[in-house]
């Protein structure tokens, strides 16, 4: 009788599915990146907006990791605007906030490599998805930020329909 119970248990175990826990989805992270023509449209619109305001600037777009995706410099802008616009974009992208919001709260970050706490860097976010940052340099800092926002606004209609 005891061996029959053993055999029955053995058969029962064979018939049970090996996995008794519900299937879990594999962890997947979906990253979104800006297409090159979108990144270029952002810098072009930002530089053009500053020109209309009477300023000669450079604009940079970086991806979510701070890598350069697009860059445009007005040929008459100062050479320093190249590095400054890239650093503003890097700062806003890696910290995921406007540089105007970082500076007053986090002066300790002024010692972090490549972080530049000057107004003019704005994160690129559409429909809750983070894409990177844009930085503008060459005008007054508040104008730099307005031009960066104009660059983002220039592609917002396109990005609204991305899924």
Look at residue 104 and tell me if it is in a domain.
yes
Rounded to two decimals, the pTM is 0.81
- The answer to whether residue 147 scores a pLDDT higher than 70 is yes
Look at residue 24 and tell me if it is in a domain.
no
40: exposed, middle or buried (Cβ count in 10 Å: 0-12, 13-18, 19+): middle
- The answer to whether residue 21 scores a pLDDT higher than 60 is no
Identify the CATH number of the domain in which residue 155 sits.
3.30.450.150
Look at residue 94 and tell me if it is in a domain.
yes
Look at residue 23 and tell me if it is in a domain.
no
Tell me the backbone φ, ψ of residue 119, rounded to 5 degrees. -60, 135
- The answer to whether residue 20 scores a pLDDT higher than 70 is no
Share of the chain above pLDDT 90, in %: 64
Look at residue 27 and tell me if it is in a domain.
no
Looking at residue 65, its pLDDT comes to 93
- The total number of structural domains in the chain stands at 1
Look at residue 135 and tell me if it is in a domain.
yes
CA dihedral over 64, 66, 68, 72, signed as positive or negative? positive
Of residues 5 and 157, the one with the higher pLDDT is 157
């Amino acid at each position: 009788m005891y061996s029959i119970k053993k055999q029955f248990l053995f058969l029962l175990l064979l018939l049970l599915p090996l996995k008794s826990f519900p299937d879990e989805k594999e962890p997947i992270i979906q990253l979104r990146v800006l297409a090159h023509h979108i990144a270029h449209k952002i810098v072009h619109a930002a530089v053009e907006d500053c020109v209309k305001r009477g300023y000669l600037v450079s604009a940079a777009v970086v991806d979510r990791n701070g890598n350069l995706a697009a860059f445009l410099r007005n040929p008459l802008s100062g050479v320093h605007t190249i590095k400054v616009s890239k650093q503003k974009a890097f700062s806003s992208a890696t910290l995921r906030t406007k540089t105007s919001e970082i500076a007053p709260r986090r002066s300790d970050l002024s010692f972090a490599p490549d972080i530049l706490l000057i107004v003019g860097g704005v994160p690129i976010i559409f429909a809750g998805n983070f894409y990177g940052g844009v930085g503008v340099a060459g005008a007054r800092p508040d104008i730099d930020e307005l031009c960066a926002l104009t660059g983002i606004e220039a592609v917002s209609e396109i990005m609204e329909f991305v899924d």
